[in-house]
Structure formats: structure tokens, C-alpha cells
Amino acid sequence: MTLTIRAMLRLRSLRVQSWQVCVERVPGRPTAVLGPGRHRRRRTATYQLLDTREQVVTVAPQEVLTADGVTVRVTAFARWRIGDPVAYTEQVADPLGWVYLAIQLALREALSTRDADTLVRAPRATLSEDAVEQLRVAATDVGIRLAEVVVKDVVLPPDLRAAYAELVVGRQRAQAQLEAARAETAALRSMANAAKLLDEHPALARLRLVQALPVGSRVELVHDAGDRPE
């Protein structure tokens, strides 16, 4: 079967998409990186296409002992992409596995210096900027550009989870009781002020009494002996 000219050109050329790079290796020459577009193939060369889009790797749950002796399960994820295609393909056999292990070790080192209460209150702050920067340097050595490392979850043992839940419920109940006491105190203070005002102004007290009577009631004013004319 004879090939058409177009088919022969396709066999002799290589198309690299906009989200890819191609690593070209020719014996006796430095490794070259081909960008997006169509490139002519060399007979003695080998080609490796790499995806340069950002990707996410999830670190499997691992058990870590905190500073106060509590074993917690921690999960994390990292956003990364290929930064140096040559280093990515030539430094280590599994560059992503290399970074994965570095993240696991960084998590263990960071969490072992904190107690469980701190981890529960602010789990995303467990990795300091210095630790993340060290991870970025380690990733760069194998051709990976590390954008972010985030601690997703910090899971406590069941008994501690129940204790923390009870603590939160008790705190909310105490807050509700405090608000109720404040409202009752404000109401009593208002009633005391009103009673003092009525005591100082008898006419106002009588007017308030009249206002409180049902509609249609008859009111008879009784004068004190001192108020009667001679």
C-alpha cells in the first residue's frame, strides 16, 4: 500500500498541542524542548509528550502523632504542574512520587509540634510558609512547579470527637443562658425605673391606671381630705 504525500508528512512531523511540550532526544545532542505547533521528526530522535496543565494530587490519609500524644488522621492536596520538562524526565524515575513523599514528611514534621486542639481550630494553618517553600525547592529539583499545599482534613479519634462535640454544645448552652440573664436584668432595671417614676409622680400613676382599665369602665375620682375645699 502506497502512502499519500499528506500521510507521509504526518509520519515525518509531530504536532504539539497548546497545553503540551515535547521532549526531543537525539543521541549525542543536548535534550531539546519543543513548544506548541508542528515539528519535523528526526529519524534518530525519540519524542516524549508532556501535559503542562495544572494538576492536583491528593495525599492519602495518614496517621500522625501530635505534640500532646493524640493520633490524628490527616489528608492534604497539592496543586502542581511541570516546570522544567528536562528535569522532570531525567532527574528521577518518579518525580511526582518524590514530591508526594516530601509532602508526607513535611506534614508529619509540622503536625508533630502542635497539639490536637490547635489542629482542630485551624487545620489549614498547619504548614508554615517556610515548610511550603522547602517543598517548592524540593519539587523544583525534579522539574515540578508546586503552587500550593493545603491540609484538607484533620480527623480526631471517635472519643475525642464526642468530647469536642459535647464541649461545643455546653459552650452554646452557656452563651444562651448568659443572653437570657442579660435580657432579664435589663427588663428588671426598666421596671425599677418605671416604678420609681410612678412613685415620684402620683398623677402619672393614676393616668397609667386609667389607661390599663378596660374600655367602657367608669372612673370615680376620690379626693383626699387634704384636697377638699373648705
Span 140-154, pLDDT tens digits = 999 999 998 888 888
Would you kindly state where each structural domain of the chain is located, as residue ranges? 7-51, 55-156, 162-212
* Whole-number pLDDT of residue 9: 43
In degrees, rounded to 5, the angle at the alpha carbon of residue 171 between the alpha carbons of residues 157 and 121 is: 45
- As a whole number, mean pLDDT of residues 165-181 equals 71
CA 171 to CA 165: how far, in whole Å?
A: 10
Condensed to tens digits (0 to 9), the pLDDT of residues 13-59 reads 889 999 999 999 998 788 899 999 999 888 889 999 999 999 999 98
- pLDDT in the model for residue 221: 56
Q: Percentage of residues in the chain with pLDDT exceeding 90?
A: 30
Residue 189 pLDDT class (50, 70, 90 cuts): confident
d(CA 80, CA 149): 9
Which region holds residue 21: left if phi is over 0, alpha if psi is between -120 and 50, else beta? beta
Which helix (H) or strand (E) is 186 found in, with range?
Answer: helix 158-200
pLDDT of residue 1: 42
What CATH number does the domain located at 55-156 have? 3.30.479.30
How high does pLDDT run on average in the chain?
79
Q: Tell me the residue ranges of DSSP E strands in the chain.
A: 13-16, 20-25, 32-34, 37-40, 46-51, 55-65, 71-82, 144-155
Q: Residue 175's pLDDT band (boundaries 50, 70, 90)?
A: confident
> Which pLDDT score, from 0 to 100, does residue 2 have?
44
Per-residue pLDDT of 50-86, as tens digits, reads: 999 999 999 888 888 777 777 888 888 999 999 999 9
DSSP code for 229: -
Place of cell 519535523: 40
